[in-house]
Structure 1
Amino acid sequence: MMAVVPAQSLRVSEIKDPTVLFERYNTEEIRTIERRVRGGIEQKKEELRQMVGERYRDLIDAADTIGEMRQCSESVVKSIQNMYSFCNKLKQTKTSLQINSKEESQKQSQEKFYTMAAHIKLLLEIPERIWSAMESSQYLQATQLYLLCCHLNSQLHLEGGGPHYSPVLTRFPILVRQVAALGHFRSTILLDSKSLLRGRAVSDQAIAEALVSTMLLEDSSPRQALADFLLARKASIQQLLNQPQHGAGIKAQVCSLVELLVTTLYQAYAVFYVPPEGRLAETGLGSGLLFATLENATSATSAAKGKKVLHEDMSAGSWFKYLPPSVTDFQPALRTLAQPIQSEQLRDTLQQWIDTCKEDIRCGVSSLLVFVRSLKGLASIRDGVWDLLSSDSINQHWAMVCQRLLDKPISLWDDLLQQLFLQRLQAITQEGTEGISSSCRQLLTSALHDLEAQPSSLSLSSSLSSSSSSSNSSAGGFSRGAQFESDVAAFLWSEAAGDLQSDAAWVSVAQRGQQQQQQQQKSGLSMKTQALTPCVQSFCSALDAKLKAQLDDLQHYLPADKNGKDAASSTNVSPLETTSTSSSSAFNRFRDAWAVEDTLREHCLACVRDVLASVRTELASAQERCSGSPDASPRRMGLVLFMARLCQSMGELCPSLRQCILGKQQGAVEVPVRGTPRQSRKLSKGGGAKAVEVSPAQAKWAGLKEELLTCSMEAYGIWSGALSKTVVERFSAALHSESAGAILGTATNWEELEIQEEAESGNSVVSKIRLPVQPSWYVQSLLFHLCLEVNRVGGHALPKVTLVELLKGCLDQVLDQYEMLTRNCQGKDVAFLMTQNRALQLLFDVRYLSATLAARLEEGKSSRSQQDPRVQEVCDSLEGHIDPFIYVFIQGPGGV
């Protein structure tokens, strides 16, 4: 393990693992080491520049040396020529043939020397040409020049083995170093060529030249070139998906990905596809560029046409004429046989590439769509993809290209992106509705807390005695809206600025109804007539605003309202419609509109049912507290009534809820109507004769309204049960009172009647009897306070079923008390407790309560068929304490 060395003393060569630096040094020391390493790098770069400069100086020196050698050789030649001329004069005996042969040999030697010099000159100039070609992205030209360098190197080595040039090569070691320096060009050209294949904005010709460069350098086949092309594009796809962009960059990323896929298939057609024999090429699109480019680069006939590696600018020099034809007419050759790719092989390879890219694209796009937080942004990305694929440059030949390459049409949206966008839409909708559900639960808890926090400690029974004065009193410190839940009468008779709309003076009632249907607006007076308290209005308004925001966000993903026909056709798309749509555009953006609306519908139903579950939980808690305590407070009953009104009016005061479940088109047709389960059953019976087709969305909306009404009726049932129990308790206390003073205190006025009878003697006998003509005071108090409490909570807006159940509950409990009274009187010996007068009063009270509290008789039925048998039993028990003579009179036409 390396000892800890101070940062100032640490050498670069000692850095083996960068992770160790972060473990042993702090940030400042690491930055110091980084600056030292960067300084060393810059120093190395400077040394490299100096070394390259020294090499170029060596080349210049070598050129000067060659020039001096040429001068020396010329002087030597001149000297030799002089020597030959001198010797020729001395040796006149030699024949002229020998002299000519020597001159020819000298000329050949000179030409070989110039040829070698031209080789060296060309070898020194080619690297600069290669760098210029690579800077201008002409990789095929760079490859040809590199292969020419290799050809020159081989020629110099081959000729260097002869007796004339081997001493010269030993004098020019720069040649060996120059060829060695050219070795890195191969890897650089290969790397840059394959990097070019990853680009999206690259021409087809540049792609073909880059692939031909790779084939010439690696001696690969066209199939290997296709594999390299597809691998480069797959790497480009992965690089594009891994870019750390968020927000608005997601749209550009997804569109760039789609554009890359489309460009890949188009370039695969342009570069690799060769039409079969007998089939004409498509107009407007090129094909087979790879083989055409390869033919131009390697064919021997192209040199005759002037398409040579060495261009005219290089042939302008005087030394160029000394190059042999093997150099001037050089053309690279491909060792393998470049046969066109068969259609089946091209199809299978492209299909396999598409299949391998699908999973990467799905995972990558899914991770990108996580950063899209709204349906508006999701629709913007979808529309961007649609605009891209529907453009003329892509859509015009897309079907033909797919048919030629894959033998089938391909839709990038349907196969790759549609399901991903739909899943993200479902996730966004679920998050939104869950947020709405959570906020509604919090709002419900807050509203119930405000209602329960009223500083009223009066019980319902004690408030009955002072109800007339308490309705006008207001305790400071608690919300008026919360007070109105338990005292709706105060809300009804209060005035507010919004009771009448601003145009109420000049808009008729019929026009007002139409405006309310279109605008979903109601005046405050209309709210009061339905006993919709401010707390209920506030809750429903908050819920409706959240649902409307969710619905408005969803509308960006659905067809616009003005395109009603498109909207209708998008919800039920047939294959014929899909085909016709795809002919004019790349794909049908709104084909999954039904799934989008169904997603919102299901999540809205879950949201409302979650709120209903919270309401039912609160109702169960309130019912348990009411059943556990002998007396129910108005504050507690206000909570129950608030939840009852909330469930009853949620469907009406939240028009956005209806639109979310039925859709915006159907949701704006029907006007919501409040009602009860009994009313809905009547409507269903009345419309049963004419069968109406109900859509699944309408069935779900009807089911949700039924759930809301059921929950509302449960809450009203709790309230009616508690109210009937409370009012009957005071009645029971007065009824079971045994003291004479209490009984006389509850007595009312009796009426004296004269009865004339004829005695046996024929004389007329007049007798007087007293009969009750008013119910007892506690009976009147029971009915009065019952009416008062019903009026307090807005009895005009209560469901009829609830009122009937309230009356029936009160009657049942009253009869229980009368039955208990009659049983107690029968079991006691004291006759004072049940005198004839008291029995008459009780009988009058029972019949009066039965007639008042019993349900309204339906038409066509007699009173006896509807009378409770318990009433008859109590009456029979009381009649046993009455004189038969008086009882007969009571039962007569003028009786009670």
Structure 2
Amino acid sequence: MAKSPQVKQDATAEHNDDPDQLFVEASVAEVRAIEQRTRADIETQKQELRSMVGEQYLELISAADAIVAMNKNAHAVLDKLDSMQVACDISTIKKRAAAVRSDQDEKGHNQKRQHLFALAALIKSLADVPEQIWHALENHRYLHAARLYAIAKRVHDTDMGFVDVQAAFPVVQRQWDAVSFFLPQIIQKSTAFLRIPDQTSESVAEILLSLMLLDGQVYLGTMEQLLEVRMAAINDMVSSKEHRLPYQLKEIIQLVQRTLVHVYEIYLQRPLLVNCVEQLQDNFMMGSSSTLPAITRVFAPSTNVHLLMRYLPENVQSYTPHLETGQPLLPGDIRQFAQAWIQNVEELLEGHLDTMLEQADTHQSLIQIRSRVWDLLESAESNHRRSGIILETKGASWKETCEGLLERPYSLWDNMLRDPFNRHARKLIDTRCQALANQPNTLISKRVQAKEACPVALDTTTLPLPTSSSSDAIQTFIKSLTDAAQGRHRLIQETQAAFDDALQAMRSDVEHHMTLSDKNRFQCKTDTASIKEHFESSCANAISEYTSGLRKLLGELHSWTDEKAANDMGIFIGRLAHAIAISSKELPRALTLSKPSTHSTLELRSGIDKDPRVKRLQQELIDTYHQAHDSWINMVSSKFGHALQKGLSENQWNDQCAAALLWTNVGDDVLLPIQATNGVERAVYQVCQELRRVNSTMLDKTIMQALKKQLGETMASTFQSFKPELTEKGAIQLIFDMYFVNMVLQDGIFTEEMKQCIENTKEHIDPINWATFEPHFLPSVERFCLKQTLILGILTRPNRETYERTRKTTATSNQQHNVVPLAPQAPRFTLLPIGHLSLKA
């Protein structure tokens, strides 16, 4: 027992048991304090009592439950011992056996044996079904698996009557649980197997029948299921990243073709599914005329089920299912579903085929894939025999299927594949043409920004002579010589090679289309002509954009602070355009695409009958070449103007003119200038130096004319602005300089400005003297120009008539037919070598 709590004693109160005494001896505050302390002690004791009682109570309850359980178990053991003793009593056993034998008759014995066999047949049928279903699924016999499941369900639901099978034999329920596990598997695998197109219509009809048997589908539901599964298969195939493009296209084509054929044969032409349903409901085993029970025919003979199945109830042995088929499908509804399905397929492929075809990154691979697709379509449309997974059978042709189901001829190539293939071919062309058009921004721009081409832009390539007499070495030397003559140094060759290689790669790839241009299957000739036209126009646009890119680079050079480097880079860009226009063989080939075997003919005719587009593009490149020299021409003209102004300013144009010391008697005691002043000739020579620096052989007639025109305008403006103090002698020398510069730059043709300058200068010369000087003036200038031919180079080439006349006159007077004299010949031996000038003076 628990101990009672002890009450604490208060030190201030001696008589706790007597309240009266407490009130007499203690104050009010002490009484209240004792009251509060007493109440707190009471509460504490209550809590302690509750805790102690609760713990012991639980222990007490547990002990009581254990005692009761021990009592029950002890009585059960005693009962078992008693029953064992009774059961093992030999005399009792003998008495009961004798009583049973005496009471049993033959009829009762047969009935019990029949019940036993019926139970054995039930258990045997359920025990063998899982293995049979498993083998059926492995062999893709989904209708057989469905029949096995239906029989097993029928056996399980049968009431034996004489015994509660579920209670007497729990194994039956466990076996049924194992069988019912196959129901979703059969439905799932049947649906998945519908995705495979390469099977016969009979096989597809059996799979759809199994879905009707197990999943309760009707005719309409089966067709919707078939079309939905095939659409999902097509969608998975177009979205797959694991398969190659040819396999994807083959599977898609087969899925579309076989789906339409299956729908036509199963639902419209000869309703296979309706026949299968009728046979299943009549005999449970389609195509069988046997009189054996259905359950016996379903099971494999190796199981020996037929020995026990005869003991099952009659309703199990003669079981045939009843299917809810719904309303029969009308031909119009079938065609409507098929047409809607094929339209959905077209929309699906329209959105995915372009992405799929990106695997074909060249025209060669695209054409190979297209040819395989054509072969597949031709074989499918012409052959009526198909190899299925299960068997081979003769079915409806593609033409018959389309006319019966779609009510019109239908071509998969024309309606689904042709446009995406042609679009991708054009896309390949556009992509490569865009890469070609971007070369000025990607390839040339980097060199321009890095000024890589400046040091070698005007370089005349040094040519090493061939060290051997082999044909390869000689051909290499000839090519190097040709490139040097055309100004095609290494950078220009590399850049032009990149241009030609891009065009050649595109052309060689697109030429694979031309190999089929003579064939007209699947509108091949029309598509090839369209692609050829697109290629030629795209190449023309790309080359035009390439030229525009070069012009844009020329425009960017105006922002350079280094004018000389900018001009050199501009000339480099211009000569690149010139080299492409003149020597590129791929440019005309790309714009006149044909079969590879005709290239030699085109090359022979290229100079005779060029395509107008080729002429236009070459002219655009030549115009770019001319435009590239505009800034350089302005720079040369500006420098020439400054040099001419400086040369004129440094000379005195009075009687003290230094050039007058070199005047020569031209006859009749007439002294006239025989050469220009040094400053003027130096200004002209600087122009020649610049021409040599930029390799004047690469300057065509148009550029030289533009240069001379600009120099002529600069010359005229310089002489017009030059206002020196002139005497007659200075005016004569100045007019000679004007004649000389005009002869060099304008071939002796005077502009109105120059005429005015000369007339203004003549005002300082006596008219009578000028009349004497004038007949000798122009021949003297011409002779001086002829003498300067080797020094001044290309600028001193006058017209042929003047050149020939002056050359003959000079040759006759000097009797030196093989020497062009640079100055009048002096006597070989004199006292002083320069005395002849003073004597003649």
TM-score by length of 2: 0.68
Name the structure 2 match of 1:255: 250
Structure 2: 5+ residue stretches without partners: 1-95, 385-396, 780-841
Pair 1:524 & 2:524 matched = no
Q: Shift of the alpha carbon at 1:713?
A: 0.9
Q: Shift of the alpha carbon at 1:353?
A: 1.7
CA–CA distance in 2 between the matches of 1:500 and 1:640?
Answer: 39
Superposed CA offset, 1:751-785 (max 9, x none): 33565xxxxxxxxxxxx432334444444444444
Q: Where do 1:214-233 residues align within 5 Å?
A: 214-233=211-230
Pair 1:137 & 2:140 matched = yes
Pair 1:853 & 2:788 matched = no
Name the structure 2 match of 1:415: 415
How has the CA–CA distance of structure 1 residues 667 and 346 changed in structure 2, closer, same or farther, with 3 Å as cutoff? farther
Pair 1:486 & 2:458 matched = yes
Superposed CA offset, 1:39-82 (max 9, x none): xxxxxxxxxxxxxxxxxxxxxxxxxxxxxxxxxx9999974466
Q: Shift of the alpha carbon at 1:304?
A: 4.2
Name the structure 2 match of 1:559: 514
Pair 1:502 & 2:456 matched = no
Q: Shift of the alpha carbon at 1:289?
A: 3.5
Judge conservation of contact 1:748–1:774 (CA < 8 Å) in 2.
no
CA–CA distance in 2 between the matches of 1:542 and 1:846?
Answer: 49
CA–CA distance in 2 between the matches of 1:261 and 1:172?
Answer: 53
Judge conservation of contact 2:295–2:309 (CA < 8 Å) in 1.
no
CA–CA distance in 2 between the matches of 1:228 and 1:808?
Answer: 85
How has the CA–CA distance of structure 1 residues 226 and 500 changed in structure 2, closer, same or farther, with 3 Å as cutoff? farther
Q: Where do 1:111-130 residues align within 5 Å?
A: 118-119=121-122, 121-130=124-133
Name the structure 2 match of 1:479: none
CA–CA distance in 1 between the matches of 2:468 and 2:654?
Answer: 52
How has the CA–CA distance of structure 1 residues 168 and 195 changed in structure 2, closer, same or farther, with 3 Å as cutoff? closer
Judge conservation of contact 1:143–1:213 (CA < 8 Å) in 2.
yes
* Alignment partner of 1:310 out of 268, 276, 296: 296
CA–CA distance in 2 between the matches of 1:672 and 1:444?
Answer: 32
* Alignment partner of 2:578 out of 648, 660, 670: 648
| SS of 2:672 mapped into structure 1 | strand
Name the structure 2 match of 1:771: 672
Pair 1:196 & 2:168 matched = no
Q: Shift of the alpha carbon at 1:151?
A: 3.4
Pair 1:299 & 2:299 matched = no
Superposed CA offset, 1:580-632 (max 9, x none): x1xxxxx356753345445555654555455434433442344565xx88xx6
Q: Shift of the alpha carbon at 1:221?
A: 2.5
Pair 1:274 & 2:287 matched = no
Pair 1:334 & 2:323 matched = yes
Q: Shift of the alpha carbon at 1:305?
A: 4.5
How has the CA–CA distance of structure 1 residues 733 and 203 changed in structure 2, closer, same or farther, with 3 Å as cutoff? same
Higher relative contact order, chain-length normalized (CA < 8 Å, sep 6+):
1
CA–CA distance in 1 between the matches of 2:139 and 2:673?
Answer: 120
* Alignment partner of 1:875 out of 758, 762, 765: 758
How has the CA–CA distance of structure 1 residues 739 and 303 changed in structure 2, closer, same or farther, with 3 Å as cutoff? closer
Judge conservation of contact 1:251–1:380 (CA < 8 Å) in 2.
no
How has the CA–CA distance of structure 1 residues 743 and 355 changed in structure 2, closer, same or farther, with 3 Å as cutoff? farther
Name the structure 2 match of 1:615: 550
CA–CA distance in 1 between the matches of 2:604 and 2:690?
Answer: 29
Q: Shift of the alpha carbon at 1:266?
A: 3.0
Q: Where do 1:118-197 residues align within 5 Å?
A: 118-119=121-122, 121-154=124-157, 156-157=158-159, 160=161, 165=162, 171-172=168-169, 174-175=171-172, 178-179=175-176, 182-197=179-194
Supply the AA of the counterpart residue of 1:737: E
Q: Shift of the alpha carbon at 1:194?
A: 1.0
Q: Shift of the alpha carbon at 1:106?
A: 9.0
CA–CA distance in 1 between the matches of 2:579 and 2:554?
Answer: 17
Name the structure 2 match of 1:36: none
Q: Where do 1:389-404 residues align within 5 Å?
A: 389-391=377-379, 397-404=397-404
Q: Shift of the alpha carbon at 1:868?
A: 1.7
Judge conservation of contact 1:732–1:817 (CA < 8 Å) in 2.
yes
Name the structure 1 match of 2:272: 289
Q: Shift of the alpha carbon at 1:869?
A: 1.5
Identity %: 22
| SS of 2:487 mapped into structure 1 | coil
Larger Rg: 2
Pair 1:839 & 2:739 matched = no
Supply the AA of the counterpart residue of 1:534: R
Q: CA RMSD in A?
A: 4.3
Judge conservation of contact 1:266–1:401 (CA < 8 Å) in 2.
yes
| SS of 1:330 mapped into structure 2 | coil
| SS of 2:214 mapped into structure 1 | helix
Judge conservation of contact 2:654–2:726 (CA < 8 Å) in 1.
no
* Alignment partner of 2:665 out of 752, 767, 776: 752
TM-score by length of 1: 0.64
Judge conservation of contact 1:748–1:776 (CA < 8 Å) in 2.
no
| SS of 2:657 mapped into structure 1 | helix
Name the structure 1 match of 2:65: none
CA–CA distance in 2 between the matches of 1:226 and 1:204?
Answer: 13
CA–CA distance in 2 between the matches of 1:153 and 1:75?
Answer: 38
Supply the AA of the counterpart residue of 1:266: V
Supply the AA of the counterpart residue of 1:840: I
Structure 1: 5+ residue stretches without partners: 1-72, 85-102, 276-287, 455-481, 508-515, 561-565, 571-576, 582-586, 675-682, 756-767, 826-832, 857-865
Judge conservation of contact 1:751–1:772 (CA < 8 Å) in 2.
yes
Pair 1:358 & 2:346 matched = yes
CA–CA distance in 1 between the matches of 2:501 and 2:469?
Answer: 22
How has the CA–CA distance of structure 1 residues 873 and 498 changed in structure 2, closer, same or farther, with 3 Å as cutoff? farther
Name the structure 2 match of 1:265: 260
CA–CA distance in 2 between the matches of 1:500 and 1:704?
Answer: 40
Judge conservation of contact 1:447–1:535 (CA < 8 Å) in 2.
no
Superposed CA offset, 1:492-546 (max 9, x none): x7445499993798x9xxxxxxxx9xxxx98223223333333322211122223
Q: Shift of the alpha carbon at 1:198?
A: 1.7
Supply the AA of the counterpart residue of 2:704: L
| SS of 1:706 mapped into structure 2 | helix
Pair 1:737 & 2:646 matched = no
* Alignment partner of 2:234 out of 211, 233, 237: 237
Name the structure 1 match of 2:638: 725
Judge conservation of contact 1:499–1:523 (CA < 8 Å) in 2.
no
| SS of 1:273 mapped into structure 2 | helix
Q: Shift of the alpha carbon at 1:873?
A: 1.1
How has the CA–CA distance of structure 1 residues 265 and 374 changed in structure 2, closer, same or farther, with 3 Å as cutoff? same
CA–CA distance in 1 between the matches of 2:759 and 2:204?
Answer: 110
CA–CA distance in 2 between the matches of 1:395 and 1:785?
Answer: 85
Supply the AA of the counterpart residue of 1:188: Q
CA–CA distance in 1 between the matches of 2:98 and 2:131?
Answer: 34
Name the structure 2 match of 1:545: 501
Q: Shift of the alpha carbon at 1:179?
A: 4.7
Range moving further from structure 2, 433-442 or 198-207: 433-442
How has the CA–CA distance of structure 1 residues 289 and 721 changed in structure 2, closer, same or farther, with 3 Å as cutoff? same
How has the CA–CA distance of structure 1 residues 669 and 392 changed in structure 2, closer, same or farther, with 3 Å as cutoff? same
Superposed CA offset, 1:317-359 (max 9, x none): 44344456644443333233674x4332222112212222334
Name the structure 1 match of 2:40: none
Judge conservation of contact 2:651–2:658 (CA < 8 Å) in 1.
no
How has the CA–CA distance of structure 1 residues 807 and 77 changed in structure 2, closer, same or farther, with 3 Å as cutoff? same
How has the CA–CA distance of structure 1 residues 818 and 242 changed in structure 2, closer, same or farther, with 3 Å as cutoff? closer
How has the CA–CA distance of structure 1 residues 394 and 429 changed in structure 2, closer, same or farther, with 3 Å as cutoff? same
